[in-house]
Amino acid sequence: MSIVMTGGGTGGHLAIIKAVKEELIGEDLIYIGSEKGQDRAWFAEDKQFSKTIFLETRGVVNQGLLGKIKSLFMLAKATIQARKVLKKSSAKIVFCVGGFSAAPTSLAAKILKIPLVIHEQNAEIGSLNKMLRPYAHTFISSYEEDSPIHAYPIKKEFFEKSRIRDKITTIIFLGGSQGAMAINRLALDLAPILQERNINIIHQAGERNIEQIQQSYLDRGIKAEVFGFTSELSTYMERADFAIARAGASTLWELSAIACPTLFIPYPYAAGDHQYYNAKFLVEQKVAWLKREGDIDTNCVIEILDFSMRNKSQKLQKMIEQDGAKEIATLLKSFS
C-alpha cells in the first residue's frame, strides 16, 4: 500500500513534501502534482518516489468566468485521472499540502473514501484547504492551538545550524528564487550604509535578476554575494545575523529554526494576504519585525541595525519545535 503526496505549485508547498518524504524512507511513495508551477522541477527526477505524475491543472481563483470554466473542466478531468492512480496503487493515505496542484488527488481521495491528511503552511488558510478541511481525517497547522502537530516540518539542517546572534556583521536579503523587486531596491539603497558599518551582504535576487543586481553592486563599488535559486539556503542563512525577507511560510519557519532575527516584508498580493498574517504571528511572539512594502525605507532598517539580536535569537531557539516532519511521517505511516 502506498502513501500518496500531493500539492505544490510553489516552493512553499513543495518544501513540505520534501521534508516529510525524507522521513519516510522504505515506504512506497507516489507524488501527484501539476504540469504548471514548480512541481516537475522539484520531483520529476526524485528517485524516492516510485511514481511521479503531473496532471494538467491550474488555479481557479483570480480567473475570469471563461477561465474558471476551463479550470473546472481541467480539474474534473484530472480528478478522474488521479482516481485511477489511487485505485491502482492501493493508496492507504493521501497527504495534501494545498495549492491548486492538490485539488484533483484530494477530491479523488474523498470519492474513494481514502483518509486525507492536510498540512496548512500559512496562518491564513488557503482556499483549497479551507474547502477540504471538513472532510479531512487530520488537519495540521503550526498556528492553531488545537492542531495535533505544532512543529513545522523543516529539514533538520536548519536546526543543526541554529546559533545565537548578537552583533550584526552579515545581513541576508531573501526575495525567493524568483526575486522580489521591493527587497532588491531596498538592498541596493542600504548597501552604502551597510558598507560604512562593515556589514557583509548576502542577497537572493532571483534567477532573472542576478546579472543586473551584481552589476548594480559593482557600480556602487560594493562587494556582495548575489544568487538566485540554491540548494544551500541553510548555509547562507547560518552565516547571516539578520535577515530581510518575504514571509512565505517555508522561509519564515526556516529562518526561525536557524534562529535568525528577521524583518519581514510580506508580498502584498499573496492570496488572503497570508504572508502578512504569517509574519504577524511571529511579531506577536516578539521574535520578528514586520513592515508593509509601501511603508518600508532605509530609516526603518537603520533603527533595527542598532538593536542587539541576542534576545530575539534566543527566543526563537526556545519557541521553534523540532521534528515536525518526523511527527507527520509517523502519522502517515500509522494508516494501514
Q: What HEC string does 95-149 produce?
A: EECCCHHHHHHHHHHHHCCCCEEEEECCCCCCHHHHHHHHHCCEEEECCCCCCCC
Q: How far apart are the first and last CA of the chain?
A: 8
Q: Is 182 exposed, middle or buried (0-12, 13-18, 19+ CB in 10 A)?
A: middle
Model pLDDT, residue 173: 98
Model pLDDT, residue 61: 64
244 and 183 in contact (C-beta within 8 Å)?
Answer: yes
Model pLDDT, residue 88: 95
CATH architecture of 2-152+323-333: 3-Layer(aba) Sandwich (3.40)
**So where are the chain's domains?**
2-152+323-333, 157-319
Q: Which residues pair with 237 in a beta bridge?
A: none
190 and 172 in contact (C-beta within 8 Å)?
Answer: no
Model pLDDT, residue 74: 82
309 and 165 in contact (C-beta within 8 Å)?
Answer: yes
Model pLDDT, residue 251: 93
Model pLDDT, residue 63: 67
**Residue 106, C-alpha cell as written in the block:** 484530494
Model pLDDT, residue 235: 97
Cα–Cα distance, 166 to 307 (Å, whole number): 9
Tens digit of pLDDT per residue, the chain (336 long)? Answer: 899 999 988 778 898 999 999 999 999 999 999 988 889 989 999 999 999 999 987 766 666 767 667 777 888 899 999 999 999 999 999 999 998 889 999 999 999 999 999 999 999 998 889 999 999 999 999 999 999 999 999 888 999 999 999 999 999 999 987 789 999 999 999 999 999 999 999 999 988 899 999 999 999 999 999 999 888 999 999 999 999 999 999 999 999 999 999 999 999 998 889 999 999 999 999 999 999 999 999 999 999 998 899 999 999 999 999 999 999 999 999 997
CA-wise closest residue to 316 among 271, 260, 274, 247: 260
CA-wise closest residue to 23 among 6, 47, 48: 48
Do the domains 157-319 and 2-152+323-333 match in fold?
A: yes
Q: What is the CATH number of domain 157-319?
A: 3.40.50.2000
Q: Is 178 exposed, middle or buried (0-12, 13-18, 19+ CB in 10 A)?
A: middle
Model pLDDT, residue 66: 72
